[in-house]
Amino acid sequence: MDNIEKLIAEHAFFKGLDPKYLKLLAKCATIEQFDAEDIIYREGKPAKGFYLVLQGRIGKEVNVPHRGPITVQTIEEGGVAGWCWLVPPHNNCFTARAYEKTKTVTMDGECVREKCLEDQLLGYEFYKRFTNVIIAQLQATKLQLMDIYAVQS
Amino acid sequence: MNTRVNDPMLPRSFRVQRVRRETYDTFSLELKPARGNGGYKFSPGQFNMLYVFGTGEVPISISGDPLNPQKLVHTTRMVGPVTQAMGKLKKDDIIGVRGPFGTHWPVELAEGKDVVIVAGGIGLPPLRPAIYYLLKNRDKYNKLILLYGARTKDEILYPRELEQWRSRFDLDVHVTVDRGTGDWRGNVGVVTTLIPKAPFDHTNTIAFVCGPEVMFRFTVIELLKRALPHNCIYVSMERNMKCGVGLCGHCQFGTTFICKDGPVFRFDHIKDLLEKQEI
């Protein structure tokens, strides 16, 4: 098992994935490092893929006119950033910024989509895993929207 | 005469020693008995009824150090006429105190275990006495983990103390805010998102949870996902407490009274009641 395959295998997102798929996915992966405040991807620009966070922290931001960027979520070690590569038009829904020195395994979206088309069991596995990430995020967003710490009138 | 002195319905006079502004709508009061030098013994998690003369009385949890009974501390938020009047008190003003009332965080039961403390918003003050106690008896516990969620960075309570606790290295402190504004570069997301990564051993852990009811319901769900048993989770409930001794019925919650049987409950003891929307 080469280094990148090992990193993928050890990441929480791919826990328990069939080793044959790990080998396949390693072909779509690169390791990247970002310094604090580096922009990883920008809202509205083509979504190149997704990021398995190995170290550091990524902030998902929305730019609000006259208020500047608002952080809606942070993703730390063991988390995954980026879903918009999954569905057309494959554009980023947020801006992602490294909040500290951050290391990721970056997965090429187009390459992963091709592998998923070639082997639909892998595709099903991928969508299942991303659905869990999205559900967890939706639950958290629901609580954020409720503004539970505000004074109740 | 003794009967009057020990009467739980009779407020004792305390003098304000200090009023400390914590956030734009939250403050702490440091109190000392108006007469005598006796300390004020309480257990972590208990509350007092604080009486602003001429305005009214409200239940406020004690947020000071249980091992330093000379200083009685309450942190509260200005939400109604009584707490707003309380926020205007100055040094040497007099306030009435009845208590301490209610059950406490089971710090003795937690000995030899990992302790996970989950606080949301104004839920941190009722947990602070437990944190003081655990830190003063640090060798009796395994890992201590504090997960704290606030609305924004400006609403984080006790920021200096959080920094001090973090720098001790024997208390794992994680803070998150619901809204990441300005130069905040810490965690953003609800406090429940910190639980999956919290480094505790689910076979030997006890959890203390305090915050709005909706927050602790979702916190419990996340703790259960980590395989922590129901009977190892303790929550602090809040209701409209008046008498403090289970007589008036204002805080009745099913078959229990929050003021007398709570505010700290083992989760499995109230789980069924929490599922009933009618109460």
pLDDT tens readout for residues B140-153? 999 999 999 999 99
Q: What's the pLDDT score for residue B181?
A: 82
**Under 8 Å between Cβ of B69 and B122:** no
From B180, which residue of chain A is nearest by alpha-carbon distance?
A71
Average pLDDT, chain A: 93
- CATH number of the domain at A100, please: 2.60.120.10
Q: What percent of chain B has pLDDT over 70?
A: 98
Average pLDDT, chain B: 93
Q: How many domains does chain A fold into?
A: 1
**Under 8 Å between Cβ of B263 and B238:** yes
Torsions phi, psi of B35, nearest 5?
-125, 140
Residues of B whose CB is below 8 A from A99 = 185-186
Q: Does B122 touch chain A (CB under 8 A)?
A: yes
**Under 8 Å between Cβ of B96 and B57:** yes
Confidence band for A68, pLDDT divided at 50, 70 and 90: confident
Confidence band for B4, pLDDT divided at 50, 70 and 90: low
Residues of B whose CB is below 8 A from A57 = 185, 187
Measured between CA atoms, how close is B192 to chain A, in angstroms?
A: 8
Q: Is the confidence at residue B103, as pLDDT, over 60?
A: yes
For B108-151, write each residue's pLDDT tens digit: 999 999 999 999 999 999 999 999 999 999 999 999 999 999 99
Which residue, B252, B203, B254, B258, is CA-closest to B235?
Answer: B258
Contact B190 A78 (CB under 8 A): no
Among A56-70, A139-153, B59-73, B243-257, the range of highest mean pLDDT: B59-73
Total beta-carbon pairs less than 8 A apart between chain A and chain B: 74
Interface with B, mutate which of A99, A148, A151 (most B CBs under 10 A): A148
- Domain spans in chain B, listed from the N-terminal domain onward: 2-101, 114-236
Other Cβ atoms less than 10 A from the Cβ of A26: the count is 19
DSSP conformational letter for B151: S
Domain B2-101 class, CATH top level: mainly beta
Q: What percent of chain B has pLDDT over 90?
A: 82
CATH number among 3.40.50.80, 1.20.1300.10, 3.40.50.10140, 3.10.20.440, domain B114-236? 3.40.50.80
Interface with B, mutate which of A94, A132, A149 (most B CBs under 10 A): A149
Query: Could you give the ipTM of this predicted complex?
Result: 0.88
Residue A132 lies in a domain: yes
Residue-number span of the structural domain to which A8 is assigned: 3-146
A27: left (phi over 0), alpha (psi -120 to 50) or beta: alpha
Contact B122 A149 (CB under 8 A): yes
Q: Is the confidence at residue B3, as pLDDT, over 60?
A: no
Q: Is the confidence at residue B2, as pLDDT, over 80?
A: no
Residue A153 lies in a domain: no
Other Cβ atoms less than 10 A from the Cβ of B41: the count is 10
For B185-244, write each residue's pLDDT tens digit: 999 999 999 999 999 999 999 999 999 999 999 999 999 999 999 999 999 998 888 899
Q: What percent of chain A has pLDDT over 90?
A: 83
Interface with A, mutate which of B79, B118, B193, B220 (most A CBs under 10 A): B193
Among A64-68, A124-128, B181-185, the range of highest mean pLDDT: A124-128
Q: What's the pLDDT score for residue B22?
A: 96
What number is the average pLDDT over the span B88-105? 96
Q: What share of chain A is helix, strand, coil (3-state, %, to 5)?
A: 35, 30, 30
B180 vs A71, A77, A149: nearest CB: A71
Interface with A, mutate which of B148, B156, B185 (most A CBs under 10 A): B185
Q: What's the pLDDT score for residue B276?
A: 81
Measured between CA atoms, how close is A13 to chain B, in angstroms?
A: 13
What is the rounded distance in angstroms from the CA atom of residue A95 to the CA atom of residue A47?
11
Measured between CA atoms, how close is A83 to chain B, in angstroms?
A: 18
Q: Does B93 touch chain A (CB under 8 A)?
A: no
Tell me which residues of chain A have a C-beta less than 8 Å from any C-beta of chain B.
36, 57, 59, 61, 70-74, 76-78, 99-100, 136, 139-140, 143-144, 146-151
Confidence band for B39, pLDDT divided at 50, 70 and 90: confident
**CB crowding A101-120: b at 16 or more within 10 Å, else e:** ebbbbbbbbeebbebbeeee
Confidence band for A153, pLDDT divided at 50, 70 and 90: low
Q: What's the pLDDT score for residue B1?
A: 44
Q: What's the pLDDT score for residue A1?
A: 60
Antiparallel, parallel or unpaired: β B114-120 and B205-210: parallel
Contact B192 A140 (CB under 8 A): yes
